[in-house]
Structure 1
Amino acid sequence: MGCEEEVLKIKKKLDKMTSSDGDQTQALDILKTLQGLPINFQVLSKTRIGMTVNALRKASTDEEVIATAKQLIKNWKKFVPDKKDDEKGNKDEGKKKDKEERKDGRSSSSNGSSSSGGGGSSRPTTFPSAAPPTTDSLRLKCREMLANALKLAEMPDGVVDTPESLAEKIEEAIFQEFRNTEAAYKNRLRSRVYNLKDSKNPQLRENVLRGVISPKRLATMSSEEMASNEMKALREKFTREGIDDHQLAVAQGTKTDLLKCGKCGQRDCTYNQMQTRSSDEPMTTFVLCNNCGNRWKFC
């Protein structure tokens, strides 16, 4: 098992320990296991294990666990590149490229396209951007609900970020839209959680985890957009049937005063009959009230 996979496995165990009723009896042993792993900057960036260890430090009351967690975080901070060094390195690299371009007589645009696919260092220079922290208890609870919905089933391949981080970004995008935590904010959150937990629509959750649907996009999607392909097809079918019934009653109907509208009580109606079942069954009658627009059908 690779280092990254081992760290992700450990991270899942620590996530359970940081919950309110989590069992932390093995926390120290797990932290010591982390100390023996060859963790580098790339592993830290992809797994975000640092955030999990810090959360355990805050949740624990064991002095040895807290001290070990602090030491781990301190050691890992050494992997984070200094911003000034990065800027200096980028400037030096840019000057070097300019010299090469002038020497070879190539344009900066063509060189840029070739160098982007070339052999520069693949190590990220910063951690993935995270949502701003919050101390609001309601917002924290909403973030927790979103994270739990994203962790409801097994993680798919190609996950771009942790469920906790994605949940924070989704909640932040919704909060930025409403700028409060009132009814509209709560309704938006509930619909995201409901759809992410829908067992008949696992594709939505997987697309969010894989980055196909960004947190900002999910925060603004309508119920129709979040629905499963099966539900979309069913809604489209109902819409077509409604349109067909309306067109049939209006365009091909026969006026009559023998039928009474159950809504307005008037006898100004238009009806049409159509064979919708097997040939030995009676025809279905579609009726439109010309007075109030009420529609119904009977056999």
Structure 2
Amino acid sequence: MTSPAKSTNPLERMLFEVKRTIVGQDVLLERMAVALLSGGHLLVEGVPGLAKTLAVKSLAAAIAGQFQRIQFTPDLVPADLIGTRIYHQHSGEFRTELGPVFANLLLADEINRAPAKVQSALLEVMQEHQVTIGRETFRVPEPFLVMATENPIESEGTYPLPEAQVDRFMMKVVVDYPGGAEEHAIVDRALRPPEPTQAMLTTDDLIRMQARVREVYVDPSIVDYAVRLVTVTRALGNAGLGQLERYVNYGASPRASIALVIGARTLAFLRGRGYVLPHDVVELALDVLRHRIVLSYEALADDVDADTIVTSVLGAVRMPDAVLQDR
């Protein structure tokens, strides 16, 4: 990769700028870039202290757009997110006060610490990029992206997210502990004052790159492969995985098929290709599918997680021989 001084790609310059603050987490940063260029929302899960919030904040600082952070707590109400109508006594009129969701990049920090009624307030804005307050509908600025962090459900004081909301996240990335060398670099950087992150990407740059992503060629066999992967999660027996059927209550929705293809197209663009390969779909499969599979109590009892199911599906579904040329 070229140095940031020589790079002419604004996205590459942005990632270099974020890496000045974040040590490691290469997969997380790449998935953030995929979400940005795909226009999809991202859910990041990991135990406290793994720089989830710092990574999202650094990415937001590297983009010259509107940024808002919401710290989710059990006492939040929907009006704290989307806004509300306030009565002004002097004028005798109701005025609409818009909430913090009206931004280009919204950081929902520890999103699973708020109850379900607050989570439901995000459903409309995540899907339709608009908010309804009273009888009025307000559009959020474009591009619009929600990046949320959450602690594992087993942590004290957390609520499971509603399935309808989880399905609206394009990907769920699980962040693990850093390696020894990475943690040494993290501590070393903590001993020095942090350098401010510079904005390297404008919203206009982002919109232009999103248009270029849509020009990447997707072979019909790639679409067929993504659809077959998703449909097998709903009927595991059709792929010879009948022994796993008792572990899954519900498979992934059609949103998963869309997210797989769009995400693979964006990943191909990031890798400098004008066409999608089956490996692009495979690489994103865990992140796209893990949060969309609803496991049974038997899976919890036998310590079977969604990643195990998805990995088995990838091994059972035949990969296509896609055309390897730029169209």
**Band of TM-score, shorter chain:** under 0.3
User: Which has more radius of gyration?
Assistant: 1
**Higher relative contact order at CA 8 Å, sep ≥6: structure 1 or structure 2?**
2
